[in-house]
Structure 1
Amino acid sequence: MSTAAAPPPAELVDADVARALAEDLGSGDATAELLPDVPDVAYLLCKEPAVVCGRPWFDACHRVLDPDVRIHWRVAEGARVAAGSVLATLAGRSRALVSAERTALNFLQTLSGTATVTAAYVDAVRGARAPAPDPRILDTRKTLPGLRHAQKYAVRVGGGDNHRMGLYDAVMLKENHVRAAGSIGAAIAAARARHPALPLIVEVETLAQLREALTAGCDRVLIDDFDAATRREAVRIAAAAPFAGAIPLEVSGGVDLDGLRAIARDGVDCISIGALTKHVRAIDLSMKLGEPPH
């Protein structure tokens, strides 16, 4: 796992876990009370190919209910695993293992799903314009409520990069902002004056707006829903004098895995994909009491 994929602070993970366990346990696990509370073991099985992500949340779920639980991971965070892989073994109190199971799996299967699909998009653009660098695969703010930091971490584990975290850490000018300001140039000037230290991203809908944004200056231009011919012309304009490729181009809107490599070959710098975090398909995992199969 790269430095860029360092997990969120422990206090954020703990807050996620506390909220999730409270939601599931309520006043207590009525079914687990039927079990003898004795030492037991369990193993974690992955039933399909995946990129593993979410170990900090999985571990925290179990340690909240049993501080003495022992978790032995057989794979690293960010590892690509085959179907049928035993990811980890656990040893702890039987009731705590069962009570933590679903919440721990919910985190792990959701975040592994995000990391796995991100890795597929990153793989799809690899070498598309060699020897030039591959375009960066970016996420969006289309995340599950309350799990933004976790999902954006999973994108990084999958090899992608994060767009802005929220509405506070970058300025992104869209149609409504341009309309209110009167022009792209005026909107850029107002944004720079009010938030000079924040990154400035400008969404454009035409080549004329692209030229205006490049001339006024910003940190990135987002070309939204351009067809292939217009997208290639946008790349040509941004790369030519007087702009000379100084401002990166980002593609967004209607991007799917099938058409991704063609977009990458056109020469854009970034491709943002809401589906990484919005269309979540959880990885099929299970936790079973007992020793893992040999």
Structure 2
Amino acid sequence: MIFTKEIEIFLEEDLKDDDLSCTLVFNKPVNAVIFTKQECVVSGIEIATAVLDYLNISYSVKKNPGDCAKPNDVLLELAGDSVAILRAERLVLNFLSRLCGIATNTRSYVEIVEKSVSTYNIRQKTKTGSPNPSSQTNQTALPLLPPKIAATRKTTPGIRKFEKKAVVDGGGDAHRSNLADLVMIKDNHIEIMGLENAFWEAKKKASFSKKIEIEAENPEQALLAASLGADIVMLDNMTPAQIRKTVSLLTEKGWRDKILIEVSGGISKETLSEYAILGIDVISLSAVTNDAKWVDISLEIQKK
């Protein structure tokens, strides 16, 4: 949901009191198009149209969130007063450029994971006749599923919900949007009160509907977290070899199917394929938002 107060804050920052730049022109009905100058995954349409609605600008959406767009593809067609369109221009373009960049970047991570897992499954099936013999011993073993690519809370203050939505538009997972979404017991919690104490305190205070996630820095911590009954175990800054060992130990103990395994820390686009085939559920990265490049998107008034 986008609130009117948010739009007004964004506009107030840009317009201020003496908007001479936009009011120089005659205020008359005009048509305009918003288009991308480069290939991208579309995101930010909802915030763009909310701003247009606020300024009484009519529009037609030509590309929806999650769509792929090519250079010169039109995202929105506009019709309204010239002053209103000029006032909306930079705010709308900034959001579209930023959010399309995040969606596009996220899609690239998702595609790497999907391709890596697909290639792995094909190779395993070719070798043994079973898609994933390491996880099961019979010939009905299921193939690996691609782990979800999830965002972290390392986002721009004030516009997190828009950046998280852009990750979803790119095929990723928003993860938790705030501290209330789930209880995450991290290294500093463990340092202050110990892993077991932190877990049982969370168990006592949290609603039955809220999941508890524990960050583990080594296989021993991961096993302890699983034995306590954590819903999610995050393997933090572990190497692929350490993760593989941890997954194997959890499987041996019979705990693997009772938890979700999230992996985070030290993962780049170059090493992502190594992590994708380890039999984990989620890979969380700040890079999907922090490393995203803005997409070149423009608005042009149409000649009659």
Q: TM-score, normalised by structure 1?
A: 0.90
Offset from partner CA, 1:195-224 (integer Å, 9 cap, x none): 143211100111111111111111111111
**AA at the equivalent of 2:27:** D
Aligned to 2:230: 218
Q: Give the whole-Å Cα distance in 1 for the aligned partners of 2:198 and 2:58.
A: 56
Q: Is the 8 A contact 1:112 1:154 kept in 2?
A: yes
Aligned with 2:109 (options 98, 118, 121)? 121
Q: Give the whole-Å Cα distance in 2 for the aligned partners of 1:92 and 1:203.
A: 52
Aligned with 2:155 (options 129, 143, 146)? 143
Aligned to 1:6: none
Offset from partner CA, 1:17-47 (integer Å, 9 cap, x none): 2211010001142111110111111111201
Q: Give the whole-Å Cα distance in 1 for the aligned partners of 2:28 and 2:109.
A: 45
Q: SS of the counterpart of 1:212?
A: helix
How far the C-alpha of 1:170 sits from its partner, in A, is 1.1
Aligned to 2:51: 61
Q: Are 2:20 and 1:30 aligned? A: yes
Q: Give the whole-Å Cα distance in 2 for the aligned partners of 1:196 and 1:179.
A: 24
Aligned with 1:74 (options 57, 62, 82)? 62
Aligned with 1:204 (options 216, 223, 235)? 216
Where do residues 217-256 of structure 1 align in structure 2 (5 Å cutoff)?
217-256=229-268
Aligned to 1:172: 184
RMSD across aligned positions (CA): 1.6
Contiguous gaps of at least 5 residues in structure 1? 1-8
Aligned with 2:39 (options 36, 49, 52)? 49
Aligned to 1:85: 73
How far the C-alpha of 1:127 sits from its partner, in A, is 4.8
Where do residues 257-268 of structure 1 align in structure 2 (5 Å cutoff)?
257-268=269-280
Residues 1:117 and 1:25: Cα distance change in structure 2 (over 3 Å) = same
Q: Is the 8 A contact 1:122 1:160 kept in 2?
A: yes
**AA at the equivalent of 1:16:** E
Q: Give the whole-Å Cα distance in 2 for the aligned partners of 1:17 and 1:113.
A: 21
Contiguous gaps of at least 5 residues in structure 2? 122-142
Runs of 4+, deviation exceeding 3 Å = 127-130
Q: SS of the counterpart of 1:90?
A: strand
Identity percentage of aligned residues: 33
Aligned to 2:100: 112
Q: Give the whole-Å Cα distance in 2 for the aligned partners of 1:78 and 1:107.
A: 15
Q: Is the 8 A contact 2:51 2:88 kept in 1?
A: yes
The number of aligned residues is: 279
Q: Are 2:107 and 1:96 aligned? A: no
Q: Are 2:209 and 1:186 aligned? A: no
Aligned to 2:126: none
Q: Is the 8 A contact 1:43 1:291 kept in 2?
A: no
Aligned with 1:162 (options 153, 174, 182)? 174
Q: SS of the counterpart of 1:126?
A: helix
Residues 1:201 and 1:261: Cα distance change in structure 2 (over 3 Å) = same
**AA at the equivalent of 2:30:** D
Residues 1:42 and 1:31: Cα distance change in structure 2 (over 3 Å) = same
Q: SS of the counterpart of 1:287?
A: strand
Q: Give the whole-Å Cα distance in 1 for the aligned partners of 2:257 and 2:245.
A: 13
Q: SS of the counterpart of 1:266?
A: coil
Residues 1:291 and 1:257: Cα distance change in structure 2 (over 3 Å) = farther
Q: Is the 8 A contact 1:49 1:81 kept in 2?
A: yes
How far the C-alpha of 1:291 sits from its partner, in A, is 4.9
